[in-house]
Amino acid sequence: MPHTTAFARNQWYVTAYSHEVGRELLGRTVLGETLVLYRSEQDGTPVVLHDRCVHRRYPLSEAPTRLDGDRIVCGYHGFTYDTTGACVYVPGQKRVPRTARVASYPVVEQDSLVWVWIGDPALADPQAVPRAAHLDAPGWTTVRGMEPIDCDYGLLVDNLLDLSHETYLHGGYIGTPEVAETPITTEVDEGAGIVRVSRHMDDAECPPFYAESTGISGRIMRRQDIEYHAPCLYLLHSRVAPVGVLPEADGSDPGGFHTEITYAITPSAEGRVYDFWAVSRDWATDDAGVTEFLRGNNHTVVMQDVTALNLLQRSLRTEPDGYQELSINIDTGGLAARRILARLVEEGDKPVEKVL
Ligand code: FES
Ligand SMILES: [Fe+2]
């Protein structure tokens, strides 16, 4: 089974960071649906509407479309929509055609992320949105960004589920020889759609990413515990500490440096994915120098992946259908993720029975 290309529609996807959604119109494309986002003046909640005016399909995220209170006024001929997508004004006549509306989408704003549901709205359960509380919890400092990549989202899933590539693609930043050399353990919760991949290194070189930010000068213990909530949310729980420094018996861990690396993998369109990335730490939280170092360093690492995946997608396009791959132990997590995604895609395709 090659990397995943089809979309699982009945799922929550991160469409923006909270700070990106305000009184300026923001355009995004998720699962091939063009969206316009803004924040309601009245109650502060994000609004997500289809980004095409029903009149002549003008993109509502583009100027001179503007907000009038909580209404959005198309910049071409003035069709005006409320937050539910209903058209409330057309120019030159009193009667607004009954069919004049744009789709509005279920939204959840949580942990500084704006999640959207593209599939059947009747199935959208806000409780099902996975948590990433460290992104805006007290005691944590986060740097973040988003890079679109011209590749199928399945290639980014493959990439993140197998961190052995850190040694080769990210050498000099976060990769050291021990990452690729240390075997992984994988656990799969098929029902919940969660894949866990762990790699624990007892005596490893400290990569510059951690050496320069934590001040550790010698060798380290390094734990990487991945928790992938298919399809969108990827959490990497990272702990580094000088060799021999273990958590206390009571579970506290004053000698360890904990970093939560978060990705949201949002399929934008065929062959295009939004790579939302964030690095949160519970150490040196007020140190602006560390913040800027991690922002720059992680951005470089993300761009190394972006470059590699753009290239990989282009080269896969020249392969014949049914091309062969050769998977090994490091791919166990990625293959489990492909299996779960295939199931979620299939479930989303089935006609859904509505409970009335
Ligand atoms: S295209 Fe929007 S009003 Fe004409
Ligand atoms: Fe990477």
Residue 353 pLDDT: 57
| Residue nearest ligand 1's atom 3 by CA | 77
Expressed in angstroms and rounded, the spacing between residue 54 Cα and the centre of ligand 1 is: 7
Give the position of tokens 């396009």. 317
Q: Decide: 31 in ligand 1 pocket, CB within 6 A.
A: no
DSSP state of 10: S
Expressed in angstroms and rounded, the spacing between residue 309 Cα and the centre of ligand 2 is: 10
Q: Decide: 129 in ligand 1 pocket, CB within 6 A.
A: no
Share above pLDDT 90 across residues of the chain, in percent, rounded to a whole number: 95
Mean pLDDT of the chain: 96
Residue 150 pLDDT: 98
Both tokens assigned to 225: 């515990």
pLDDT band at 352 (very low <50, low <70, confident <90, very high): low
Q: Which ligand is nearest to the CA of 301?
A: 2
pLDDT band at 322 (very low <50, low <70, confident <90, very high): confident
Q: Are 231 and 8 in contact (CB under 8 A)?
A: yes
Pairwise CA distance, residues 209 & 301, whole Å: 10
List own/partner pairs for 129-135 with CB under 8 A and 24 or more apart.
129/12, 130/12, 130/229, 130/232, 130/233, 132/233, 132/235, 132/260, 132/262, 134/260, 134/262, 134/280, 134/282, 135/111, 135/262, 135/278, 135/280
Write down how long the chain is: 356
pLDDT average, residue stretch 221-245 = 98
Atom of ligand 1 nearest to the CA of 91: 3
Q: Which ligand is nearest to the CA of 300?
A: 2
| Residue nearest ligand 1's atom 4 by CA | 77
pLDDT average, residue stretch 328-356 = 85
Pairwise CA distance, residues 155 & 270, whole Å: 12
The domains of the chain are located at 12-127, 133-348
CATH topology of domain 12-127: Rieske Iron-sulfur Protein (2.102.10)
pLDDT average, residue stretch 153-181 = 97
Pairwise CA distance, residues 76 & 307, whole Å: 38
Pairwise CA distance, residues 137 & 126, whole Å: 20
Residue 349 pLDDT: 74
Q: Which ligand is nearest to the CA of 305?
A: 2
| 175 CB-near residues (< 8 Å, 6+ apart) | 165, 166, 167, 168, 169, 207
pLDDT average, residue stretch 210-234 = 97
Q: Is the pLDDT reported for residue 270 higher than 80?
A: yes
Element (H, E) at 96: none
Q: Is the pLDDT reported for residue 350 higher than 80?
A: no
Q: What is the CATH number of domain 133-348?
A: 3.90.380.10
Mind listing the pLDDT tens digit for each residue in 105-163?
999 999 999 999 999 999 999 999 999 999 999 999 999 999 999 999 999 999 999 99
Q: Are 117 and 124 in contact (CB under 8 A)?
A: yes
Residue 348 pLDDT: 81
Helix/strand/coil (H, E, C) string of 305-322?
HHHHHHHHHHHHHCCCCC
Question: Which of 36, 50, 55 has most ligand 1 atoms within 8 Å of its beta carbon, as the pocket-test mutant?
Answer: 55
Q: Are 220 and 243 in contact (CB under 8 A)?
A: yes
Mind listing the pLDDT tens digit for each residue in 240-252?
999 999 999 999 9
Expressed in angstroms and rounded, the spacing between residue 79 Cα and the centre of ligand 1 is: 6
Which strands, in side-by-side order, build the sheet including 107-110?
Answer: 12-17, 113-117, 107-110
Pairwise CA distance, residues 315 & 325, whole Å: 13
pLDDT band at 97 (very low <50, low <70, confident <90, very high): very high
Residue 254 pLDDT: 95
Q: Are 306 and 147 in contact (CB under 8 A)?
A: yes
Q: Is the pLDDT reported for residue 356 higher than 90?
A: no
Share above pLDDT 70 across residues of the chain, in percent, rounded to a whole number: 98
Residue 191 pLDDT: 93
Q: Is the pLDDT reported for residue 355 higher than 80?
A: no
Pairwise CA distance, residues 232 & 131, whole Å: 11
DSSP state of 135: G
Residue 351 pLDDT: 63
Expressed in angstroms and rounded, the spacing between residue 280 Cα and the centre of ligand 1 is: 43
